[in-house]
Amino acid sequence: MVKAIRVYELGGPEVLKWEDVEIGDPKEGEIRVKNRAIGVNFIDIYFRTGVYKMPEIPYTPGVEAAGVVTAVGPGVTNWKIGDAVYHSGSAMGTYTEEQIVLADKAMPLPPIDPLVVASVMAKGLTAPAGGVGSLLCQWANMLGATVIGTVSTIEKALQAKEDGCHHVIIYKEEDFVTRVDEITSGGGVDVVFDSVGKDTFQGSLACLKPCGYMVSYGQSSGTPDPVPLSVLAAKSLFLTRPSLRTSRISREELREATNEVLTNVASGALRVRVNHTYQLSQAAQAHADLAGRKTSGSIVLVPDGAEK
């Protein structure tokens, strides 16, 4: 038996229940992993609240973790007990002390702090093909883009500057559409990456230049209203909603992207801020703080009793 977070109904953070679960031994093609650090992402909230549909309930939340192999199933030759491993995307279920993972979906790790891995990988794996948060700002800057960031507070504005934003807009103090128009001298931007959703979606479209790209990768303020095709046609805009889970990325592509992220982290090209760690049993508080915008940088859960 191990401890895990279980969800029996959709709702607020209070539906995250801390209890004993039995996981058994790994079967053919599987490994058993003891999680040392578990990433917390907004997608975990989307599933918990029903924005994204779960195939079945009850379930254990979580889409990524870093840990160590504790058992190997029949037919598995590329893993051994004690190997450091990162796993994500094949199934839900990382909010647990230990779990069964498909061996061919796991990625080997170099000697690197598991807290850093769990805080950066899902976000960083998205960044090479799309991007999220501060990692997107850093990555875009590395590629030579002029980066405009929107934040809610002065403190986050300073962080955005550190992350490579050339212009930072505190959207609670000024209209970001008007400010973008000023920065671009009325030309608009080539691409908008929008993780907020309902509250900013129309404004984000308004910031684009003709033939610009609108990349919606989150909806923290709610699901955006439907967009008539005529709105996109007005400036020949492109609209996409990418997801790492449904991108059909191959194992080799995933390995290459993983190495790219870890290489940039190790070299210091990507700065990772693990600003908040919570015991696994405190997952409900972590969700409440994330949804309430009380956090900045990454959030990581650690097994109870482990050092934070």
Q: What is the average per-residue pLDDT within 284-298?
A: 87
pLDDT in tens, 144-178: 999 999 988 888 888 889 889 999 999 889 999 99
CATH architecture of the domain with range 2-124+272-302: Alpha-Beta Complex (3.90)
Q: Tell me what pLDDT residue 130 has.
A: 37
DSSP track, the chain:
-EEEEEESS-SSGGGEEEEEE------TTEEEEEEEEEEE-HHHHHHHHTSS--SSSSB---SEEEEEEEEE-TT--S--TT-EEEEESS-S--SBSEEEEEGGGEEE--S--HHHHHHHHHHHHHTTTT--HHHHHHHHHHTT---EEEESSHHHHHHHHHTT-SEEEETTTS-HHHHHHHHTTT--EEEEEE-S-TTTHHHHHHTEEEEEEEEE---TT-PPPP--HHHHHTTT-EEE---GGGS---HHHHHHHHHHHHHHHHHTSS-----EEEEGGGHHHHHHHHHTT---S-EEEE-TTS--
Indicate the pLDDT class of residue 261, thresholds 50, 70 and 90: confident
% the chain with pLDDT above 90: 59
pLDDT in tens, 99-145: 999 998 899 998 889 998 998 887 776 655 433 677 888 889 989 99
Residue 305 has pLDDT above 80, yes or no: no
- pTM of the entire structure? 0.75
Domain boundaries, the chain: 2-124+272-302, 131-241
Supply the CATH classification number for the domain 131-241. Answer: 3.40.50.720
